[in-house]
Amino acid sequence: MSASLYTTRRIKNVIAMVLSVIATGLGLFFLAWILWETLSQGASALKPQLFTKITAYREEGGLANAMIGSLILNFLGILIATPIGVAAGTWLAEYSRRSRLGPTIRFLNDILLSAPSIVLGLFVYTIVVLPSKYLSNGNVTFSGLAGGVALALIALPVIVRTTDEMLRLVPGTLREAALSLGVPQWKLTTQILIRSARSGIVTGVLLALARISGETAPLLFTAFGNTFTSLNPLTPMASLPQIIYEYTKDPSPDINTIAWAGAFVLTMFVLALSLIARFAFRSKVSHD
Amino acid sequence: MHATASNAATAPAHTGASRTSTDSRNDLIFGWVLKACALLVLLSLIGAAGSTLWLGQDAFRTFGWGFLTSAAWDPSNDQYGALVPIMGTVGTAMIALVVAVPISFGIALFLTEIAPQWLRGPVASAIELLAGIPSIIYGMWGLFIFAPFVAEHIKPWLMNNFSAEPPDGQVSWLVQHVPWIAKFFSSEYPFFGAGVLTAGLVLAVMIIPFISSVMREVFQTVPTRLKESAYALGSSTWEVVWDIVVPYTRTAVIGGVFLGLGRALGETMAVAFVLGNTFKFSWSFLETGSSIASTIANQFGEAQGLQRSALMALAFLLFVVTFIVLLIARLMLRRLATKEGN
């Protein structure tokens, strides 16, 4: 009787363990499959002209304008999001102790972190693209600037969260020591606290950059796309994810091949950024 | 905060009193600037909800509550109803959860209880890295690789066994006796890989890293003494997990699942290619459909007038629903943060 109970429990345990190993294998298999297809299909499609020619030439062209556009858009996004995000994170960590607003904003920031990016894109369309008609004779113009604002909105919560977490790791004795010397709070914050949390904040910015460089949905109705190279942020701009989206939908297999090459470059860029963020700075930042 | 005499001597312009007042004024301004930046987070959430509601008001006014229950999406007659995109969004997200939650649970279990110590770190980082792959890549893989696979291997099997018009011509025993099952497995284009099921499976693969890494983090918060007590009483690994770890972390595990659901509901690019973008109402998993996000991505560029407003109204609905789902997720995960202290 007790021997059979023992056997049942052991069998149950073995079944659960086997299922768990199978689940891990299955999860890793699918993720490896996606990575493998991207790398193999993309690597075979790589050509030097991808980096030198623009998308206006279609099959004979490359992705140069999209890559330049992506760099400008990401740069704009990070440029807008970093000061605001670091300031907001600093307020949450250092100033919001006695206010009820602090926990609320921290909580809402976590929600913004996973809000649907296409809706954020439509929001930026409403506040940046639509008002542009008052500036340019009634024509609504998509622009790289709008794309940058949309990406900034996605990068913002990542930067706010890491800054907040990193500043809260700074030991309180550092604050007390500075305050007892008569240092004003703004000087303490900018010159001591942010400096000692700097590597963590940089990690956060890099993670935010990795996150926005793969975003497609918010760029569709803001930066819109452009078949030529554009360096002016007030004009529509192409980006790598948006061109991959267009080229994947395209019926021509040659165009699909270029999309794979773009996917390869994009994935490599994003994975390299996350690797740098995780291993070069080796900090305990949560990423969910 | 009084300036010392030597300070006052080297900087005569700053007497003690004026320096204190400058500092306190600067402190005040600095604090307000930081607070304004923090308020931007709040404003952008309100703005996203407000702007989509504002631009979607025409559609809400024209169709009223019928907007939610009408299956018509007909730009040529200017008739719009949200039912098909809502069903597509909910259907794909549900399939994704049903597939992703058990697999994620298995992965988290493997990484916290079963795997040898040297394997845990590498496998966990590999899965987290893969969470960073852009969603458009999942979409491409779905369209070019996975949809043909579904059309060739998964769909014929499902249709042979569960549909009323199987490709092999033999209606299965199950369908003969339980005919309503066939309703969920019919397909107008049996050899076409795109559909609700395919999109749901692509989403599942995409959210597995999110859910499993939250579950793993959550499982790690269970105090070792609890688990060791159970082991000391002779529990097997599975009993420790099912009777100690899961009850201890239940709320947070559900929070992690809701976090995954929030991602799945709002995802655009992973499903935009493999859903088919059709607007015919159907109960079938194998039929093509559309989701809220994919509809916006496909149509907003060329939409005018009422159609544009209907798309904005869809965006508002999506935003409100994901907001509620994520709110529940974060509330459930927040309890964990207080628990972690012990």
* Structure confidence at residue A119 (pLDDT): 95
Contact A116 B139 (CB under 8 A): no
pLDDT digits (tens, 9 = 90+) for B296-330: 999 998 888 899 999 999 999 999 999 999 999 99
* Structure confidence at residue B246 (pLDDT): 93
Q: Residue B8 — very low, low, confident or very high, per pLDDT cuts 50/70/90?
A: very low
Whether the CB of A22 is below 8 Å from some CB of chain B: the reply is yes
* Structure confidence at residue B202 (pLDDT): 95
**Chain A residues touching residue B337 (CB < 8 angstroms):** none
Across the interface, of A27, A114, A286, the residue whose CB is closest to B103 is A27
List, in sequence order, every residue forming a beta bridge with B73; answer none if it has no partner: B80
Measured between CA atoms, how close is B336 to chain A, in angstroms? 14
pLDDT digits (tens, 9 = 90+) for B176-214: 888 888 888 888 777 888 999 999 999 999 999 999 999
pLDDT digits (tens, 9 = 90+) for A161-203: 999 999 999 999 999 999 999 899 899 999 999 999 998 899 9
DSSP A170: S
**Chain B residues touching residue A110 (CB < 8 angstroms):** 326, 330
Q: Residue B175 — very low, low, confident or very high, per pLDDT cuts 50/70/90?
A: confident
Among residues of chain B, what percentage have pLDDT more than 70? Answer: 93
How far, in whole angstroms, is CA B158 from its chain's centroid? Answer: 27
Q: Which of B37, B39, B202 to mutate to test the interface with A (most CBs of A within 10 A)?
A: B37
Between CA B136 and CA B133 the distance in angstroms is 8
Q: Are A259 and A237 in contact (CB under 8 A)?
A: no
Whether the CB of B241 is below 8 Å from some CB of chain A: the reply is yes
Residues 51-80 of A with CB under 8 A from B: none
Across the interface, of A12, A16, A114, the residue whose CB is closest to B262 is A114
Residues 207-226 of B with CB under 8 A from A: 208-210, 212-214, 217
How far, in whole angstroms, is CA B250 from its chain's centroid? Answer: 19
**Chain B residues touching residue A226 (CB < 8 angstroms):** none
Q: Is it the case that residue B129 has pLDDT exceeding 60?
A: yes
Q: Is it the case that residue B268 has pLDDT exceeding 50?
A: yes
Whether the CB of B41 is below 8 Å from some CB of chain A: the reply is yes
Q: Which of B119, B137, B210 to mutate to test the interface with A (most CBs of A within 10 A)?
A: B137
Residue of A nearest to B142 (CA): A34
**Chain B residues touching residue A266 (CB < 8 angstroms):** 134, 136-137
pLDDT digits (tens, 9 = 90+) for A47-79: 898 898 898 888 888 899 999 999 999 999 999
Please give the backbone phi and psi of residue B165, each rounded to the nearest 5 degrees, phi first.
-125, 70
Across the interface, of A27, A116, A278, the residue whose CB is closest to B322 is A116
* Structure confidence at residue B337 (pLDDT): 57
**Chain B residues touching residue A114 (CB < 8 angstroms):** 259, 262-263, 266, 322, 326
**Chain B residues touching residue A153 (CB < 8 angstroms):** 44
* Structure confidence at residue B2 (pLDDT): 45
Q: Lowest mean pLDDT: which of A176-185, A234-243, B163-172, B288-297?
A: B163-172
* Structure confidence at residue B183 (pLDDT): 81
pLDDT digits (tens, 9 = 90+) for A105-142: 999 999 999 999 999 999 999 999 999 888 877 778 89
Contact A20 B110 (CB under 8 A): yes
Measured between CA atoms, how close is A231 to chain B, in angstroms? 23
Q: Residue B341 — very low, low, confident or very high, per pLDDT cuts 50/70/90?
A: very low
Q: Is it the case that residue B169 has pLDDT exceeding 80?
A: no
- Residue-averaged pLDDT of chain A: 90
Measured between CA atoms, how close is A46 to chain B, in angstroms? 16
* Structure confidence at residue A240 (pLDDT): 95
Measured between CA atoms, how close is A135 to chain B, in angstroms? 20
Whether the CB of B40 is below 8 Å from some CB of chain A: the reply is yes
Contact B330 A26 (CB under 8 A): no
- Residue-averaged pLDDT of chain B: 88
Residues 122-151 of A with CB under 8 A from B: 122-123, 126-127
